[in-house]
Chain A
């Protein structure tokens, strides 16, 4: 809110300059965002917190300055004479605790004098005419919204008789053309000011077009009221009208301020537009309630602030803030809440008032004391480990939006999986549903990087995906996943040798390495990758022994790879599954004293036969010592014939107790060869 320093000085006679005023207000919670010159005046741009509607006018800001500086606040005339000349009915005092109206006659609508134009400009408003400006000046000065009706227009609607005004809820389907020229259809939750013909205005939000102030207006009906905060707020939101009045009513307007606003408005209409007033106001106040009272215990101040100012300082603070403290039992203070302070509801609020007044600088500083703490949840630790692992492996961490376009992630979801959770009020079509996979975002980032001329792209993201529970209104599951994409070189490029492109074995190796590091005790089983986004013959999934899915990796489907025009390898890991694996520690194995014995078998393998099938066959043969097998070379060449390859397997025997004899070793080797020939039909290379 823009506030004029000159205007503030008219309400509280301070000498302080603008920067001191800014420091005071900021220190009291009315943050000054900027200071600006406006002619000879200085404008303060204030950030008024939502709980301080009393400061949404110059009077309230001046009240804070008067409290801070110990200066008087200039009184404004507040006591109009009562009248019952107008027929007004309030249907529900909860929705409209107070409604007052008065007449100013014979106004002359004309341009406003210069000082009004300047003052409005300083506050960021444009002058309209002297009458409209008068209502805006009241709002800016007192923070109390008022509304002007063209009294003759109101009378004309009533066929020339005095209008009977009712403040009531609209009837379903009632219509009103508001003064922004829009025809509005109202509902039964909207509070209106109505006459016998129907609504004249939407209470606290906006006036009607046919009773608005126009150039020919002569007689003005002034409304100063107080409406239910929630009702005004909801109407303003439903209708999409963000008026200054609605903003203030929604936050809470001082019902006791209505007469002051009446008097001030009448004064301004007299001064600016030559109006005449009797000073008589029809004032209905069915929602009157006595001042709220609260008790403040100095002990509570000490408990919440860590210190307590002296009793006298507390009393002075409360007095400066118009809280009228009185001594109560046990050293407590009984305070009376001013009608404009809608934010003071509990003792803690009063503690803040005292702290605000003495200054937050007075609060001492106690350094933290440490205490043992529980370890973090396993999933958090898992997330951190996977970040360490992938960044150490040369991948760059990205952060992607959790929202994407509907069905954009279809390639990464098993067929028949539930739909994505849709956002009811998306900010863009491209961010309309919650992601079920991180892959689309990651691939987009990969594509942008390729377009920037980056050949090697290695990106990863760790984050949540959202999986709806079909047929349930419960919150979706939020699995934590790590996803990565690998494009370009398979190993660091170096001038000493030609670059090697990434291939399927790189991504499979990285995933299995990651799982081994994150969940060493996990026993993985290969399964189908389960999604249509990967090539079926160049992908795999992994499962734990208990069937929970651990992740998938592979090369993008040609359909998805097309745009990138280069082989793309990706993987996704389910970190929740990995976190479910019991953590363990490596068990030490005794070291062998004897050297291992190795024998290489160069086999000629027919197309369909896999390494794992060969391993399974080899593993079943009795060995003279613990044996393991490594693939050390694979070769395809014309001399082998089509569909055949040469695979060299190194057999490693690790004796523990005694040296193996040549006969034992050779016998074992022959058994291996015979078994491979008999079971799998493969033989040694010629």
Chain B
């Protein structure tokens, strides 16, 4: 079969052209390392006016019987270029991402933008912790007035006028005869006046005594607990104290009761826990006794029940109290009472929330 020489020439020219395109593509493709260049290569060869697209147009000059073969070659080249471009695009993308990841965002050891953090007073923290422990065993938090009358602060607590135990509490009296409560116990009285047994309550608050030196402030904080019902005994007091302090200080804390006198309880006691500094071995803090006195406790005195109209033959109850400031100081290792009322931000900031 013979062909016109002109057509033969077109065919070989097209073949040559395809070879050149392939070489040119290979060169361009090798040089293309970033996504933009890869895209430029794609457009140069595969775009609407791309080299391969133009070559395809030359197919029109090729005799019909040669078209399938040369068409196949062109398609193979197109597939080759498309695949290569896709691979190049992918690796260029990865390279670009690597480059971005490698770029420094600045000195990350510089201080970050920190939101402000305030603080909660150590006495508040301690009070909340204790309130939570009490709430878990069914105690309600009660509050009462800080300005009290003689009845609620003294008389109803079995401290009649002239009682020597009144001397121990230096009371601030107000012009007109009222007083600043010397303990949180009047809240117990007010609760019992208002509510019939069973009662389980805990009353935290500020109290006032006319005393100011290195170990006393004229205003400080107490928390007291009261449990009244039928059959409440000192064994319940002991168990509740043990529970509260084991929750607060840890399961290994030991506790003991000693006889002690508070006019509003009978039998009365003081309670100690094993020294948290030396773990009971004896140190300066516990004066080598291994014990730290925490507060007073006891069975509610029948005279107190009578003052609030509860029958002491039917109901019994226990109460205990403690100084929150002292517990907070123990908890946080604070050695100077005055820090608690100084408002020094350098101190307060140590109790950030």
Chain B residues within an 8 Å CB radius of A425: 172-173, 210
Bound complex: CA of A31 vs CA of B287, how far in Å?
13
Contact of A449 with B by CB under 8 A: yes
Tell me, rounded to whole Å, the shortest Cβ–Cβ distance linking B327 to chain A.
15
Of the listed stretches B60-68, B72-80, B95-103, B263-271, chain A binds: B263-271
B162 at the interface (CB under 8 A from A): yes
- Asked if A250 and B164 sit within 8 Å, CB to CB, the answer is yes
A454 & B198 in contact (Cβ 8 Å cutoff): no
Closest B-chain residue to A230, C-beta based?
B162
Q: Which of B165, B212, B303 contacts A50 (CB 8 A)?
A: B165
Q: How many Å lie between the Cα of A220 and that of B118 in the bound state? A: 73
Interface flag for B123 (CB, 8 Å): yes
Chain B residues whose C-beta falls within 8 Å of the C-beta of A366 in the assembled complex: 233, 235-236, 238-239
A475, B147: Cβ atoms closer than 8 Å:
yes
Within 8 A of B (CB), among A410-465: 421-428, 431, 434, 441-442, 444-446, 448-449, 452, 454, 457-460, 463-464
Partner of B164, one of A233, A352, A373, A397: A233
On whether the beta carbons of A303 and B233 are closer than 8 Å, the reply is yes
Are B269's CB and A360's CB within 8 A? yes
With CB as the reference atom, state the residue of chain A lying closest to B206: A402
Q: Which residues of A contact B268 (CB under 8 A)?
A: 352
Is A677 at the interface (CB under 8 A from chain B)?
A: no
A589 within 8 A of B: no
Residues B249-298 near A (CB distance < 8 A): 256-261, 263, 266-270, 287
Q: In the complex, A28 Cα to B259 Cα: how many Å? A: 6
Cα distance A423–B179 in the bound complex, in angstroms: 8
Stretch at the interface among A111-119, A386-394, A530-538, A649-657: A386-394
| B143 & A365 in contact (Cβ 8 Å cutoff) | no
A360 to B147 Cα, complex, angstroms: 36
Q: Say yes or no: B143 contacts A377, CB within 8 Å.
A: yes
Bound CA–CA A356/B261 (angstroms) = 12
Q: Is A371 in contact with B218, judged by CB distance below 8 angstroms?
A: no
Tell me if A495 is interfacial: C-beta within 8 Å of chain B: yes
How far apart are the CA atoms of A346 and B234 in the complex, in Å? 17
B345 and A478 contacting across the interface, CB-CB below 8 Å: no
User: Quick check: A363 and B238 within 8 Å, CB to CB?
Assistant: yes
Q: Interface code B318-333, partner A: CB below 8 Å = 1, 0 otherwise?
A: 0000000000000000
In the complex, A492 has a CB within 8 A of chain B: yes
A367–B239 CB distance below 8 A? yes
* Interface residues in A217-262 (C-beta closer than 8 Å to B): 229-230, 233-234, 237, 250-251
Bitwise, A398-413 to B at CB < 8 A (1) or not (0) is 1111110000000000
Taking the complex as formed, is B27 at the interface, i.e. its CB lies under 8 A from any CB of chain A? no
Contacts of A424 in B (CB 8 A): 172-175
Q: Is A84 an interface residue (CB 8 A)?
A: no
**Binary contact track A347-360/B, C-beta < 8 Å → 1, others 0:** 01101100110001
Q: Are B139 and A373 closer than 8 Å at their CB atoms?
A: yes
The reply to whether B118 and A393 form a contact with Cβ atoms under 8 Å apart is yes
What is the minimal beta-carbon distance from B18 to any residue of chain A, in angstroms?
53
Q: Tell me if B307 counts as interface (CB < 8 A to partner A).
A: no
Identify the stretch in B28-36, B37-45, B50-58, B106-114 within 8 Å (CB) of chain A at 4 or more residues. Answer: B106-114
Alpha-carbon distance A452/B342, docked complex (angstroms): 12
The reply on B19 being an interface residue by CB < 8 A is: no
Chain A residues positioned under 8 Å from B5 (CB to CB): none
Interchain CA distance A370-B269 in the complex, whole Å: 24
Select which of B149, B239, B342 is within 8 A of A475 by beta carbon. Answer: B149
Shortest distance between the CB of B138 and any CB in chain A (Å)? 4
9-residue interface stretch from A200-208, A271-279, A304-312, A606-614? A304-312
Taking a contact as CB atoms under 8 Å apart, the answer to whether A368 and B236 are in contact is yes
B239 and A376 within 8 A (CB): no
Which B residues touch A340, using CB under 8 A?
none
A385 within 8 A of B: no
Contact call A306/B219, Cβ cutoff below 8 A: no
Tell me whether B175 and A449 are in contact (CB under 8 A): no
Q: Are B258 and A423 in contact (CB under 8 A)?
A: no
Q: Are B164 and A50 in contact, with the CB atoms below 8 A?
A: yes
Complex Cα–Cα for A360 and B259 (A): 7
User: Which residues in A have their C-beta under 8 angstroms from that of B316?
Assistant: 303-304
Q: Is A341 an interface residue (CB 8 A)?
A: no
In the complex, which residues of chain B have a beta carbon less than 8 angstroms from the beta carbon of A233?
162, 164, 167
A525–B287 alpha-carbon span in the complex (Å): 59
Q: Contact at B259–A352, with CB atoms within 8 Å? A: yes
Task: Pick from A50, A229, A376: contact of B141, CB below 8 A.
Answer: A376
B267 & A384 in contact (Cβ 8 Å cutoff): no
In B166-195, which residues have CB < 8 Å from any A CB?
Answer: 167-168, 172-178, 180
Number of interface residues of A (CB under 8 A): 100
Partner of A473, one of B136, B140, B176: B176
Measured CB to CB, the closest approach of chain B to A636, in angstroms, equals: 29
Chain B residue, CB-CB nearest to A441: B343
Residues of A within 8 A of B261 (CB): 29, 49-52
Residues of B close to A448: CB separation below 8 A: 342-344
Contact check, B343 vs A400: say whether CB atoms are below 8 A apart.
Answer: yes
Q: Does B239 contact A351, Cβ atoms closer than 8 Å?
A: no
Contact with A along B100-141 (1 / 0, CB 8 A): 000000000011011111111101100010000001111111
- Give Cα A224 to B116, complex, Å: 72
Choose among A393, A402, A452, A463 the residue that contacts B208 (Cβ–Cβ < 8 A).
A402
The contact string, 1 if C-beta is below 8 Å from chain B, for chain A 23-35, is 0001111010010
Q: Which residues of A contact B267 (CB under 8 A)?
A: 304-305, 348, 351-352, 355-356
Mask: chain B, 217-255; 1 = CB below 8 Å from A; 0 = not = 011000000000001011110111011000000000000
In the complex, B308 has a CB within 8 A of chain A: no
Contact A394 B257 (CB under 8 A): no
CA gap between A427 and B233 in the complex, in Å = 41
Which residues of the partner chain B approach A464 to less than 8 Å between Cβ atoms?
146, 206
A 545-587 to B, binary, CB cutoff 8 A, 1 in contact else 0: 0000000000000000000000000000000000000000000
Contacts of A391 in B (CB 8 A): 118-120, 353
Do A305 and B234 have beta carbons less than 8 Å apart?
A: yes
Within the assembled complex, what's the spacing in Å between the Cα atoms of A478 and B176?
17
**Quick check: is B145 within 8 A (CB to CB) of the other chain?**
yes
Bound Cα distance A49, B121 (Å): 34
Q: Does B299 belong to the interface (CB within 8 Å)? A: yes
**A397-B118 CB under 8 A given contacts A26-B258, A402-B208:** yes
Instruction: Report which A residues bind B (CB closer than 8 A).
Output: 26-29, 31, 34, 49-52, 229-230, 233-234, 237, 250-251, 302-307, 346, 348-349, 351-352, 355-356, 360-361, 363-377, 379-380, 384, 387-388, 390-403, 421-428, 431, 434, 441-442, 444-446, 448-449, 452, 454, 457-460, 463-464, 466, 473, 475-476, 478, 492, 494-496
26 contacts between A and B (CB under 8 A): A26-B258, A229-B162, A233-B164, A304-B233, A348-B302, A351-B267, A352-B266, A352-B268, A363-B235, A363-B257, A365-B235, A368-B243, A371-B198, A373-B140, A376-B140, A401-B341, A434-B180, A445-B342, A445-B344, A449-B344, A452-B345, A458-B118, A463-B206, A475-B147, A475-B149, A478-B145
Q: Report, nearest first, the 8 A-B pairs whose CB atoms are least far apart.
A: A394-B116, A306-B235, A445-B343, A29-B259, A306-B233, A49-B261, A352-B267, A391-B118
With A250-B164, A394-B115 already in contact, 20 other A-B pairs whose C-beta atoms are closer than 8 Å: A27-B259, A51-B165, A306-B233, A355-B267, A361-B256, A366-B238, A368-B239, A369-B138, A370-B136, A380-B141, A390-B118, A392-B118, A396-B119, A396-B345, A401-B219, A452-B345, A459-B348, A475-B145, A492-B114, A494-B111
